[in-house]
C-alpha cells in the first residue's frame, strides 16, 4: 500500500519542464501580404487572424468611434452577400468571428474546424476586403452602438474607464474609448466609414496569422488561395497617426475627478497616470514590479484591501503597453465608506515600492516565478497562439521574444525593480477618478490632498 | 471522445485521469457535489461564502492558498452554482504534487485553521462581491427576481447562489464548520487530473494524498419543501413582475420552468434557444434587431440544472420602443415556430453550432469548462465521465418535430414576465406588472 504523505512540509516543485513557443514560420503570399503560420496539433481547430496597425487612435478628432464602427460593420454584408447571407455562410461551417479594435491595432479573427479551413479563410478575406457598407446597415449598426454608449453610462466601470482616459490624455489620440460618444457617433456617415476602410484596411502593413492542426504548407496554401489575389497597398497617410503626435501626451486635465452615482453602495476607482510605451527597456522589470504591486491575487494591494480589510472583491493594477506611452492604472470597486482610505492606500503603495519599501527578495522571487513558470499555459489554444504572434507583429518584437522572455525575467533583480518603480510610478502626479455617491464622499475627499474634485456627469 | 481512467478510493473519492501530452501542464479539478440548493432559507449564500473560506489556509499550510501556487506558476480559481462547487489549479507539471498536497490538506484538515477572523474577513469580501456584481450592476438583480418567481419559496432554486445579504451577515463560523462537515468529504467529491501526466503515477500520488482522509456520512437529501413537492409542475398562472433599476433602457425577461439537465426534452430546449437567438440569422435576432429594430439585443438560454431547469428569453428595448412591442413580436415568433416547426436548414444550422461547440470545448485541459471540468461534470451529474458521447447523441437524435414540441411547452401557462425599467419609469413595464421583491 501507499505510504502516508508528509504534511510537515509542502512539497517543493522540481525543475520546471522546458517549454518553447511554437515555431512561427514567416513568409509572404504571392501578392506580398505578410504571412505567419504555426502548426498547432490537437483538436481539429484552425484560427486565422488578420492584424493591422491601425486602431481607435486613428479616429479623426470629431469622429471618435469611426475605427470601431467600421470594424463592427465588416460582417454586415459583403459586395457578394447580404449580412444574413454572410452569417448563414459562417454558421454553416460553425465559424466564430471576432473583431478587436485597440488604440493601436485592429484584428479580425475567424476560428473554424480544420475541414472548413478554406471556406473560413475565404469568408475572412471577403469580410475584410469587400465589405458592403450599405447606408441602411451603417445607420442600424451606428444606432446600436449609440444605444450601447447610452447603456454604458449606467455601468460604473465603463464610466470610470472613459473619464480616466479623457483626464489622462486631453486632446490626445489615446484620450477616448474606441466606441466613441453619442455625439460623435451621431455625426458619422456611411461615406466616412467607406473612406476609413479604404484608407486603413490596406494590406501592406497587415499580417495574416494562421494557427491550427494543419501543416505550415496547408495553412499557407489556404492563405494563398483566399488572400493571395487581394491588392496590397499602403494605408493612406490620414489613417496613420504620426509617432510624434502619439508621443506628445501633455499633463492631465485634473488630479481628482468625481462622478456622482447617487446612493451607490460602492465606488469604482481608477488611479494612475501616463506611464511607458511597450518599447521601454524596463519592460521586464516593470512586469515584475506590477505583479508585486497589484498584478495578481497575491499582490500588495489585493492582500491589503481584500484579504486584510475586506473592502473589495478585488483590485488590480496594470501597465497598458502601447506603441506610445499608455496608462498605468489601479482599478477596482470598493465599498463606498472606504473610498478615501483605498485611494490613499494605492497612492501610498505606488510611492513606497520605489523608495521606502522596495520589493523584498521573497516578493521578487514570487513575481519572477509567477511570470515565468506559468508561461506554457498561456499558449494552449490556437487562438492564444495567434494572439501571441499578433503581439510580436504589432510591437515589432523579434521572433525569439517568447524564448528569451523567461531568462530576461529571471535576470531582473531588486535594484532593477526599485529603479523601474522610481522611474515610472509617480504617485505625486497620479490622477484619481471616483465613480460613487458624491454626497457621502465629498466631505472626506480633501484628505486625499489632490485639491478640489472636478465634478463630471456620467 | 476523451480517454480517461476512473478509479474510486476506499473513502469514496472518485478519481479521473486524462492524459494529453501536448503541453507541459497539469490540470487539477475538484468538484464537491454541493451548491446553493443544499442551503436552507435563512442561510442562503453559505455554499458560496464557504468556497471563499477554502482559499484561506488549512492546518498544515495556515496562510493564503494562492501564494504557494502562484509562486509555482499556477493559475487557480473556484466557483459555486446552485448544484456544485468546483476548484481548479493549472500548474506546470513539476508542481502537480504541490497542488494535490494543498487540495488534500484543505479537504482533510481545513477546520483547525478556520478562524473567526478569516470568516469575518471573507464575509465582508463576499458582501462586496455582491455589491459589485449584483447590487451596483445594471440589471444585476433580475436573475434573483426571476428565480424567486419561477420556483416556490421552499424550492432549492428559489434563491440565487450569491444569497441574501442579510443571510450572509447572519451566517456564523459554526454554520461554516457544520457545512464543511456535512458536505466536504471524499464521498461527495470528484477529482480529475488531466494534462501531461501518466495515469499510474498520478493514481499513486492521489492515493498518497487523499486515502488518509476519512469517508464522511452520506450527504442529506436536498430539501424540497411541501409546496414544491405538492406542486412539482409549474404554477398554472402567468406572472408579470417589474423591477426598477439604474438602467438606461428597459429590458424584458420571459422565463419558464423547463426540463432538468439530461432529462427528456432538455437538449431540444437547448437547441430551441440556439434557433431563437443564436447569431444574426436566428429568428428573434433577425426580426427584433435586424429587420424591425425594436431591440438592441436578444438572447435565449436553457438553464439545465440538476433538479430542475428554466428557459429564458431576454431582449432590451431600443430607444423609444416599449416592452409591449417586444413581447408581442416574441409571442408571434414563438407561435409561428410552434405552428410549422423549424425548417430543415434551420435545424441543421443549430445542430452545426452544437457540434462545433463540442469541438471548441476540447481546446483547454484545465480551468472553467476545460476538459477536466467537463469530465467531472459528466461524472457528478451522469455518473460517467465518458458521458460526452451520449450527450452529443441527444442532439443528433433530435428532430424538427421535437423542437416544435419544445416551443409548444412555452405556450403552457406558468410564464414569468419580468420588466426591468429605469428608476421612476414604472409605466414602461408590461401592463399589470407588480413589483418584484429583491434584496
Q: Residue A1: its pLDDT value, please?
A: 45
**Residue A96 to chain B, least CA–CA distance (Å):** 10
Rounded mean pLDDT of A20-29? 94
Ramachandran angles phi, psi of B404, nearest 5° = -60, -40
Q: What is the mean pLDDT of chain A?
A: 96
**pLDDT confidence of residue A116:** 98
Residues in chain B: 439
User: By percentage, how much of chain B surpasses pLDDT 90?
Assistant: 94
ipTM of this predicted structure: 0.95
pLDDT at B218 over 80: yes
Is B116 a residue whose pLDDT tops 60?
A: yes
The per-residue pLDDT for A374 is 85
**CA count, 13 A, side-chain hemisphere, A295:** 19
Can you give the pLDDT at residue A10? 96
Could you read off the pLDDT of A137-185 as tens digits, one per residue? Answer: 999 999 999 999 999 999 999 999 999 999 999 999 999 999 999 999 9
In B165-315, alpha helices (H): 165-170, 173-183, 199-210, 226-230, 266-277, 283-284
If one compares A268 and B413, the residue with the highest pLDDT of the two is A268
**Would you state the pLDDT for residue B232?**
46
Task: State chain B's mean pLDDT as an integer.
Answer: 96
**Helices (H), ranges, A395-437:** 401-410, 414-424
Q: Residue A240 corresponds to which cell in the numbers above?
A: 496613420
Question: What pLDDT is attached to residue A314?
Answer: 98
Distance from CA of A141 to the nearest CA of B (A): 9
Quickly state the pLDDT bin for B237 (edges 50, 70, 90): confident
When pLDDT is cut at 50, 70 and 90, the band that residue A376 belongs to is confident
**Which pLDDT does position A19 carry in this prediction?**
81
**A431-436 vs A256-260, strand pairing mode:** parallel
pLDDT at B34: 98
Cα of B362 to nearest chain A Cα, Å? 6
Chain B residue numbers with beta carbons less than 8 Å from the beta carbon of A292 are none
pLDDT at A351 over 90: yes
SS (H, E, C) A293-314: HHHCCCCHHHHHHHHHCCCEEE
Residue A20: what pLDDT?
Answer: 84
Amino acid B229: pLDDT = 67
| Rounded CA separation A77/A141 (Å) | 12
pLDDT at A91 over 80: yes
Residue A99, CA distances (Å) to A49, A54, A106, A240, B433 in order: 9, 13, 7, 19, 40
Residues 255 through 284 of chain B touching chain A, CB cutoff 8 Å: 279-281
Determine the average pLDDT of the residues in B40-58. 97
Over residues A39-52, the pLDDT tens digits come to 999 999 999 999 99
Report, as an integer, the average pLDDT of A356-369.
Answer: 96
Q: Give A357 to chain B, closest Cα distance, Å.
A: 20
Out of B73, B132, B286, closest to residue A266 by CB: B132
A370 touches chain B (CB under 8 A): yes
Residue A43 burial (10 A CB sphere; 0-12, 13-18, 19+): buried
Region A338-352 average pLDDT: 98
Q: Report whether B376 contacts B189 (CB < 8 A).
A: no
Q: What is the distance between the alpha carbons of residues A111 and A47, in angstroms, rounded to a whole number? A: 4
Q: CB distance from A91 to chain B under 8 Å?
A: yes
B109, B296, B364: residue with CB nearest A144: B296
Res. B235: pLDDT tops 60: no
Contact: B208, A2; criterion CB under 8 Å: yes
Q: Does B41 touch chain A (CB under 8 A)?
A: no
Radius of gyration of chain A (CA): 24
pTM over 0.90: yes
Amino acid at each position: 500500500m501507499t505510504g502516508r504523505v508528509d504534511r510537515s512540509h509542502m512539497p517543493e516543485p522540481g525543475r520546471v519542464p522546458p517549454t518553447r513557443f511554437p515555431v512561427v514560420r514567416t513568409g509572404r503570399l504571392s501578392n506580398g501580404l505578410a504571412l505567419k503560420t504555426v502548426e498547432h496539433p490537437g483538436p481539429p481547430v484552425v484560427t486565422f487572424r488578420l492584424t493591422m496597425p491601425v486602431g481607435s487612435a486613428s479616429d479623426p478628432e470629431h469622429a471618435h468611434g469611426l475605427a470601431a464602427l467600421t470594424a463592427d460593420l465588416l460582417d454586415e454584408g459583403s459586395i457578394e452577400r447580404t449580412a444574413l447571407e454572410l452569417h448563414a455562410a459562417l454558421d454553416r461551417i460553425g465559424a466564430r468571428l471576432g473583431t478587436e479594435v485597440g488604440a493601436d491595432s485592429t484584428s479580425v479573427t475567424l476560428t473554424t474546424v480544420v475541414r472548413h479551413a478554406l471556406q473560413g479563410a475565404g469568408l475572412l478575406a471577403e469580410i475584410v476586403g469587400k465589405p458592403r457598407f450599405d447606408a441602411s446597415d451603417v445607420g442600424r449598426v451606428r444606432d446600436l452602438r449609440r444605444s450601447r454608449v447610452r447603456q454604458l453610462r449606467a455601468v460604473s466601470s465603463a464610466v470610470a474607464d472613459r473619464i480616466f482616459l479623457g483626464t489622462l490624455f486631453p486632446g490626445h489620440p489615446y484620450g477616448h474609448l474606441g466606441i466613441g460618444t453619442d455625439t460623435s457617433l451621431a455625426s458619422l456617415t456611411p461615406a466616412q466609414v467607406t473612406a476609413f476602410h479604404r484608407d486603413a484596411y490596406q494590406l501592406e502593413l497587415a499580417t495574416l496569422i494562421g494557427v491550427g492542426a494543419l501543416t505550415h504548407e496547408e495553412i499557407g496554401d489556404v492563405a494563398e488561395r483566399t488572400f493571395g489575389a487581394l491588392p496590397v497597398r499602403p494605408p493612406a497617410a490620414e489613417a496613420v497617426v504620426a509617432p510624434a503626435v502619439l508621443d506628445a501626451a501633455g499633463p492631465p486635465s485634473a488630479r481628482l475627478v468625481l462622478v456622482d452615482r447617487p446612493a451607490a453602495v460602492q465606488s469604482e476607482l481608477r488611479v494612475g497616470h501616463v506611464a511607458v510605451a511597450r518599447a521601454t527597456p524596463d519592460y521586464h522589470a516593470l512586469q515584475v514590479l506590477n505583479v508585486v504591486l497589484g498584478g495578481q491575487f497575491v499582490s500588495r494591494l489585493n492582500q491589503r484591501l481584500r484579504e486584510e480589510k475586506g473592502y473589495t472583491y478585488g483590485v488590480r493594477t496594470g501597465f497598458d503597453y502601447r506603441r506610445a506611452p499608455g496608462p498605468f492604472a489601479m482599478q477596482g470597486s470598493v465599498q463606498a465608506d472606504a473610498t478615501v482610505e483605498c485611494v490613499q492606500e494605492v497612492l501610498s503603495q505606488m510611492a513606497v515600492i520605489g523608495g521606502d519599501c522596495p520589493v523584498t527578495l521573497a516578493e521578487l522571487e514570487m513575481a519572477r516565478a509567477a511570470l515565468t513558470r506559468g508561461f506554457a499555459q498561456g499558449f494552449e489554444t490556437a487562438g492564444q497562439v495567434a494572439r501571441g504572434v499578433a503581439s510580436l507583429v504589432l510591437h515589432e518584437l523579434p521572433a525569439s521574444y517568447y524564448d528569451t522572455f523567461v531568462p530576461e525575467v529571471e535576470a531582473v533583480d531588486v535594484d532593477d525593480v526599485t529603479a523601474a518603480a522610481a522611474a515610472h510610478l509617480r504617485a505625486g502626479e497620479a490622477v484619481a477618478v471616483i465613480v460613487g455617491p458624491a454626497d457621502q464622499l465629498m466631505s472626506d475627499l480633501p484628505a486625499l490632498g489632490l485639491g478640489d474634485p472636478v465634478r463630471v456627469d456620467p | 471522445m476523451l480517454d480517461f481512467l476512473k478509479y474510486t478510493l476506499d473513502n469514496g473519492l472518485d478519481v479521473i485521469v486524462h492524459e494529453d501530452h501536448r503541453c507541459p501542464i497539469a490540470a487539477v479539478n475538484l468538484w464537491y457535489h454541493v451548491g446553493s440548493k443544499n442551503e436552507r432559507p435563512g442561510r442562503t449564500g453559505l455554499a458560496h461564502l464557504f468556497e471563499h473560506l477554502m482559499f484561506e489556509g488549512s492546518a498544515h499550510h495556515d496562510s493564503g492558498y494562492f501564494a504557494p501556487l502562484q509562486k509555482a506558476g499556477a493559475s487557480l480559481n473556484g466557483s459555486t452554482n446552485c448544484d456544485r462547487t468546483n476548484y481548479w489549479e493549472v500548474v506546470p507539471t513539476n508542481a502537480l504534487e504541490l497542488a494535490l498536497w494543498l487540495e488534500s490538506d484543505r479537504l482533510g484538515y481545513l477546520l483547525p485553521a478556520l478562524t473567526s477572523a478569516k470568516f469575518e474577513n471573507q464575509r465582508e469580501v463576499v458582501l462586496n462581491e455582491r455589491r459589485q456584481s449584483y447590487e451596483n450592476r445594471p440589471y444585476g438583480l433580475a436573475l434573483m427576481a426571476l428565480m424567486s418567481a419561477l420556483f416556490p419559496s421552499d424550492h432549492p432554486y428559489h434563491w440565487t447562489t450569491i444569497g441574501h445579504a442579510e443571510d450572509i451577515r447572519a451566517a456564523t463560523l459554526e454554520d461554516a464548520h457544520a457545512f464543511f462537515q456535512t458536505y466536504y468529504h471524499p464521498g461527495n467529491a470528484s477529482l480529475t487530473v488531466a494534462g501531461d501526466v501518466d495515469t499510474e503515477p498520478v493514481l499513486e500520488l492521489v492515493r498518497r494524498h487523499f486515502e488518509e482522509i476519512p469517508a464522511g456520512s452520506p450527504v442529506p437529501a436536498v430539501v424540497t419543501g411541501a409546496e414544491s413537492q405538492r406542486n412539482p409542475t409549474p404554477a398554472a398562472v402567468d406572472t408579470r413582475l417589474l423591477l426598477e433599476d439604474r438602467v438606461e433602457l428597459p429590458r424584458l425577461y420571459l422565463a419558464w420552468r423547463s426540463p432538468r439537465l439530461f432529462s427528456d426534452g432538455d437538449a431540444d430546449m437547448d437547441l430551441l434557444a440556439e434557433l431563437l437567438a443564436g447569431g444574426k440569422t436566428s429568428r428573434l435576432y433577425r426580426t427584433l434587431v435586424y429587420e424591425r429594430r425594436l431591440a438592441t439585443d436578444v438572447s435565449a438560454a436553457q438553464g439545465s440544472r440538476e433538479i430542475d431547469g428554466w428557459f429564458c428569453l431576454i431582449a432590451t428595448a431600443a430607444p423609444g420602443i416599449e416592452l409591449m412591442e417586444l413581447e408581442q413580436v416574441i409571442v408571434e415568433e414563438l407561435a409561428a415556430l410552434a405552428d410549422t416547426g423549424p425548417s430543415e436548414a434551420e435545424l441543421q444550422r443549430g445542430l452545426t453550432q452544437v457540434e462545433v461547440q463540442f469541438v471548441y470545448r476540447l481546446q483547454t485541459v484545465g480551468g472553467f469548462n476545460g476538459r477536466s471540468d467537463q469530465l467531472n461534470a459528466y461524472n457528478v451529474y451522469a455518473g460517467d465521465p465518458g458521458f460526452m458521447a451520449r450527450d452529443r447523441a441527444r442532439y443528433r437524435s433530435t428532430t424538427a418535430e421535437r423542437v416544435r414540441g419544445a416551443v409548444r411547452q412555452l405556450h403552457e401557462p406558468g410564464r414569468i414576465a419580468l420588466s426591468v425599467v429605469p428608476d421612476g419609469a414604472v409605466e414602461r413595464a408590461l401592463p399589470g406588472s407588480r413589483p418584484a421583491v429583491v434584496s
